[in-house]
């Protein structure tokens, strides 16, 4: 079986593919608002430390498991230890929960790109002058009977077209096109923003550490606020690096033995973190200027979640005058690339699982997975419209799927994967895989300690904090 499995053409191809997976919507809207909420540079420093330590440990574990077994996440764990095969099932359910609603949001992005394309070339103003009706425009789209669903199906079909072409001809070649464009557009927008009059105040707000964010009501240092910042950064790192989604195991299974896992993981982290930081440079200064100009607290403007991208930013673009429509068009093209690369990775994790389990051809597996995704996407697409009256624990379908996968299942899977690698397989097994073909792993002691003790504890803490946050238990909020 090993000789028949697809391989990346080289180390650069693997790094680009894995980085493309990691660079998604989480980097473009979640990282900026968390940085704004938790003290700017203070949050960035904590995040960078976690990526270099905890993120490195988790990603290296998943990639090593994938390359050692040459299987996707569904079957990889059972090959290493049959009693722990249930982790593969959890690891396959997660992308099946995430990808449908992610494609719905991807459809929203495509719709907004089309809107800004018309605004730039035709001159229409569907959100009104100054985009004062951006919220009504967004709400009318996501609550429409079929439009949101139709765009989600279009997005799924586009991803399926890449997947069916295979690892080298589909995923690898698409990343060679989209990733450089993503980097170039992100850098161009960030440079434009930094050169705007008055942007220095926004840059200072973003980059300079605000230690007051760690002070409690009494003016003294607050351990609770530090803990919230730490767990907020852990959650962002977790989401941003595509951990516990089956992606890194699947992509690792296509990795050549001659390539260094340790070096590749470090390069993936650098690419992902670069885009996250650039996202902040693109978004925070302009939102800061817009908020100050309109008398809105910056923290309030930055805490909009998805609304930041689809409601607040259109107002910001409109405030830039004639250039606003063009900047909006380019920005949403960037977001399409980011959403597509991540969605393709999640899609591949699902398709590879079907191929490995049933020994099925890629084209047939892709069709089956796409059909399942379209069915599941209907819940999130119609959940704000005709099925809007149906909620689960007070949440719409999309929010419930997001909570179930990101806040509950992913921390559980990550914690158990660390226990599996650290105590069942033993770190020695991971070292053997990392040192295949003569490579030397330098961080052995650090990895052993982190995977056995630090990572499981932080994952459980994240699980508890996220559950409390979403279910509003104990007043805990991240």
> Any idea what the CATH number is for the domain that residue 25 is in?
1.20.1740
Residue 225 binned pLDDT confidence (cut-offs 50, 70, 90): confident
Residue 305 binned pLDDT confidence (cut-offs 50, 70, 90): low
pLDDT of residue 406: 92
DSSP 3-state of 127: coil
Cα 302 to Cα 288: distance, rounded to the nearest angstrom = 8
Residue 2 binned pLDDT confidence (cut-offs 50, 70, 90): very low
Nearest partner of 379 among 207, 148, 222, judged by Cα: 148
Over residues 9-49, the pLDDT tens digits come to 999 999 999 999 988 888 887 898 889 888 999 999 999 99
Residue 212 binned pLDDT confidence (cut-offs 50, 70, 90): confident
The answer, yes or no, to whether residue 134 has pLDDT greater than 60, is yes
Nearest partner of 119 among 307, 331, 286, judged by Cα: 331
Residue 276 domain flag: yes
The answer, yes or no, to whether residue 145 has pLDDT greater than 90, is no
Residue 478 domain flag: no
Q: Which two tokens stand for residue 445?
A: 């002691």
Contact residues for 457 (Cβ-Cβ < 8 A; gap 6+): none
Q: Average of pLDDT values for 95-105? A: 97
pLDDT of residue 470: 82
Residue with token string 């979403």? 470
C-alpha separations of 150 from 46, 103, 131, 136 in Å: 40, 11, 25, 20
Residue 274 domain flag: yes
Q: Which two tokens stand for residue 81?
A: 């230890």
Number of domains into which the chain is organized: 1
Question: How much is the pTM?
Answer: 0.95
pLDDT of residue 304: 67
Identify whether the C-beta of residue 290 lies closer than 8 Å to the C-beta of residue 327.
no
Q: Which two tokens stand for residue 333?
A: 């093209």
Identify whether the C-beta of residue 355 lies closer than 8 Å to the C-beta of residue 365.
yes
Quickly list DSSP for 341-394.
HHHHHHHHHHHHHHHHHHT--HHHHHHHHHHHHHHHHHHHHHTTTTTTT--BTT
Cα 279 to Cα 97: distance, rounded to the nearest angstrom = 26
The answer, yes or no, to whether residue 307 has pLDDT greater than 60, is yes
Q: Tell me the average pLDDT of the chain.
A: 93
Residue 476 domain flag: no
pLDDT of residue 477: 60
The answer, yes or no, to whether residue 108 has pLDDT greater than 60, is yes
Over residues 327-382, the pLDDT tens digits come to 999 999 999 999 999 999 999 999 999 999 999 999 999 999 999 999 999 999 99
Q: Which two tokens stand for residue 123?
A: 């001159």
pLDDT of residue 1: 35
Q: Is 393 left (phi over 0), alpha (psi -120 to 50) or beta?
A: left
Residue 399 binned pLDDT confidence (cut-offs 50, 70, 90): very high
pLDDT of residue 476: 60
Between the CA atoms of 409, 411, 413 and 419, what dihedral angle is there, to the nearest 10 degrees? -150
Quickly list DSSP for 45-64.
HHHHHHIIIIIHHHHHHHHH
Domain that holds residue 448: 2-471
Residue 23 domain flag: yes
pLDDT of residue 438: 85
Cα 60 to Cα 55: distance, rounded to the nearest angstrom = 8
Over residues 171-190, the pLDDT tens digits come to 999 999 999 999 999 999 99
pLDDT of residue 105: 96
pLDDT of residue 239: 79
The answer, yes or no, to whether residue 285 has pLDDT greater than 50, is yes
Lowest mean pLDDT among 56-70, 301-315, 404-418: 301-315
Cα 399 to Cα 408: distance, rounded to the nearest angstrom = 13
For the four alpha carbons of 271, 464, 72 and 93, in that order, the dihedral sign comes to: negative
pLDDT of residue 439: 85
Instruction: Tell me how many helices (H) and strands (E) the chain has.
Output: 24, 0
Q: Which two tokens stand for residue 135?
A: 């919220």
* Higher pLDDT among residues 28 and 230, named by residue: 230
């Amino acid at each position: 079986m090993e000789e028949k499995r697809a391989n990346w053409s080289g180390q650069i191809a693997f790094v680009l593919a894995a980085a493309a997976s990691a660079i998604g919507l989480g980097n473009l809207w979640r990282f900026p608002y968390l940085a704004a909420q938790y003290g700017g540079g203070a949050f960035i420093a904590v995040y960078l430390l976690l990526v270099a330590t905890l993120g490195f440990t988790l990603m290296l574990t998943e990639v090593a498991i994938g390359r050692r077994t040459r299987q996707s996440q569904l079957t990889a764990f059972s090959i290493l230890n049959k009693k722990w095969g249930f982790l593969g099932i959890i690891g396959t359910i997660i992308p099946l929960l995430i990808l449908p609603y992610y494609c719905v949001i991807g459809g929203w992005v495509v719709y907004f790109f089309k809107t800004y394309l018309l605004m730039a070339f035709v001159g229409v103003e569907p959100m009104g002058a100054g985009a004062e009706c951006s919220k009504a425009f967004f709400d009318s789209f996501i609550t429409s009977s079929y439009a949101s669903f139709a765009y989600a199906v279009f997005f799924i079909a586009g991803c399926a077209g890449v997947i069916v072409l295979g690892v080298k001809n589909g995923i690898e070649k698409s990343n060679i096109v989209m990733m450089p464009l993503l980097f170039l557009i992100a850098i161009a927008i960030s440079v434009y923003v930094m050169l705007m009059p008055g942007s220095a105040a926004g840059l200072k707000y973003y980059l300079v550490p605000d230690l007051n964010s760690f002070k409690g009501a009494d003016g003294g240092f607050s351990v609770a606020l530090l803990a919230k910042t730490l767990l907020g950064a852990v959650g962002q790192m977790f989401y941003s690096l595509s951990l516990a989604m089956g992606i890194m195991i699947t992509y690792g299974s296509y990795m050549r033995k001659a390539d260094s896992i340790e070096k590749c993981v470090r390069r993936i982290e650098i690419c992902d973190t670069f885009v996250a930081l650039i996202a902040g440079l693109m978004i925070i200064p302009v939102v800061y200027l817009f908020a100050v100009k309109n008398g809105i607290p910056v923290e309030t403007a930055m805490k909009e979640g998805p609304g930041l991208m689809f409601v607040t930013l259109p107002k910001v673009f409109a405030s830039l005058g004639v250039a606003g429509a063009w900047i909006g068009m380019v920005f949403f093209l960037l977001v399409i690339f980011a959403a597509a690369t991540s969605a393709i990775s999640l899609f591949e994790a699902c398709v590879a699982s079907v191929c490995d389990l049933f020994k099925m051809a890629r084209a047939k597996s892709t069709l089956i997975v796409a059909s399942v995704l379209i069915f599941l996407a209907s819940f999130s697409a119609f959940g704000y419209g005709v099925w809007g009256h149906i909620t689960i624990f007070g949440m719409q379908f999309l929010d419930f799927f997001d909570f179930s996968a990101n806040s509950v299942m992913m921390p559980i899977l990550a914690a158990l994967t660390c226990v599996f690698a650290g105590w069942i397989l033993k770190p020695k097994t991971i070292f053997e895989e990392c040192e295949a073909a003569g490579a030397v792993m330098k961080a052995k002691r650090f990895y052993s300690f982190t995977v056995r003790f630090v990572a499981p504890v932080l994952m459980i803490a994240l699980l508890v904090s996220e559950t409390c946050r979403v279910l509003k238990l104990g007043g805990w909020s991240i």
